Amino acid sequence: MRLDAYRIAVAVSFLVLALVPAAAWAADRPFYLDLFTRVMVFAIAALSLDLILGYGGMVSFGHAAYLGLGSYAVGILDHYGIDNGFIQFGAAILVSALTAAFIGAVSLRTSGVSFVMITLAFAQMLYFLFISLNVFGGDDGMSIVRHSDFGGAVPLDNPTILYFAVFAVLAFCFWGSGRLVESRFGMTLRGARSNARRMTAIGFPIFRYRLAAFVISASMCGVAGALLANQLLFVSPAIMHWSRSGEIIIMVIMGGIGSLLGAILGAAAYVMLEHELSALTEHWLVILGPLLILIVLFAKRGLYGLIAREGGAAGG
């Protein structure tokens, strides 16, 4: 896809998202506001994973852990009567970043299947840790009493304002990720994905670049978790389960690995399919499975690849 065509595709995608509240109001379907808020939250999570999977070649199978940590940062602080949004979101970013720094420092010393299994193991450790914390609801989870408070400037208890707050965060993450992957940092990350030994031989500290990308990715996913907690006003260890990490990976694959716009398209496709198919049958994954196989076989670049048939675009 040429650069101009890519920019048009991005503009159209964000324009559609911006018009959802008006369309939901006009059609008297307020539920779609909630549905597309969820779409955008998981689009942020998919973007964060695609940053390290698509551009760094790091297949993290425990990314939902950071989604859960971000959610619990909001839930636990609310449990103790702290509803300041700056503190809650700051805690979500800090906890996710510190956890990722530790997990990354260990897991990035391996590669391939070993890396996948170590990230999965750490995520499951966190999952079982939060199950054991009965003070915060244990396996049953915990309710959140109040939305994050930003001094009244952004009242997230209003569904429309929450929608546009998530929209703004998604736009910022998309823009920031695009700048990052096109920077010297992003070029080095992609070079390490292609040939790590050669990059090391010419003097690049590959481990530090990968660790930095891992931490940035986790921080972004932590923000998605904090937004999800504000949408649901509930948090449970189920958010951190390995199956949730698998869903985020599926979103990236469906959209197109190594495509920022594709991550958004994949998240939208997955959440919409989940909504529609689950209404038809409780065994909706039986239908989704073959669809995913068809995408992998006939659209190797995912949904984005169906749009970008003329080649790659910068930032795509």
Average pLDDT over the chain, rounded to an integer: 90
148 in any annotated domain = yes
DSSP per-residue letters across 191-252: HHHH-HHHHHHTT--HHHHHHHHHHHHHHHHHHHHHHHHHHHSEE-GGGGSHHHHHHHHHHH
Q: Which of 33-37, 38-42, 152-156, 172-176 has the lowest mean pLDDT?
A: 152-156
313 in any annotated domain = no
112 in any annotated domain = yes
Once rounded to an integer, what is the mean pLDDT over residues 112-124?
93
316 in any annotated domain = no
CA distance 6 to 314: 8
293 in any annotated domain = yes
Query: Which domain range does residue 9 map to?
Result: 3-307
Q: What is the pLDDT of residue 239?
A: 94
Q: What is the pLDDT of residue 2?
A: 62
DSSP 8-state class, residue 149: B
Q: What is the pLDDT of residue 312?
A: 46
Q: Which of 6-15, 64-73, 113-122, 203-212 has the lowest mean pLDDT?
A: 6-15
Count of domains observed in the chain: 1
Q: How confident is the model at residue 309 (pLDDT cuts 50, 70, 90)?
A: low
Within 54-158, residue ranges assigned H as helices are 64-79, 85-107, 112-132
312 in any annotated domain = no
In this model, does residue 93 exceed pLDDT 90? yes
In this model, does residue 197 exceed pLDDT 90? no
Q: How confident is the model at residue 287 (pLDDT cuts 50, 70, 90)?
A: confident
Q: How confident is the model at residue 310 (pLDDT cuts 50, 70, 90)?
A: very low
49 within 8 A of 252, measured Cβ to Cβ: yes
Distances 120 to 106, 152, 274 between C-alpha atoms, Å: 13, 39, 24
| Cβ neighbours, 10 Å, residue 51 | 29
In this model, does residue 3 exceed pLDDT 80? no
In this model, does residue 105 exceed pLDDT 90? yes
Q: What is the pLDDT of residue 1?
A: 56
CATH of the domain at 146: 1.10.3470
Q: What is the pLDDT of residue 314?
A: 39
92 in any annotated domain = yes
Kindly state the percentage of the chain with pLDDT values over 70: 96
In this model, does residue 311 exceed pLDDT 50? no
DSSP per-residue letters across 239-292: GGSHHHHHHHHHHHHHH-TT-HHHHHHHHHHHHHHHHHHHHH-TTHHHHHHHHH
54 in any annotated domain = yes
Q: Which of 34-38, 51-55, 232-236, 280-284 has the lowest mean pLDDT?
A: 280-284
Once rounded to an integer, what is the mean pLDDT over residues 230-235?
95
CA distance 111 to 131: 29
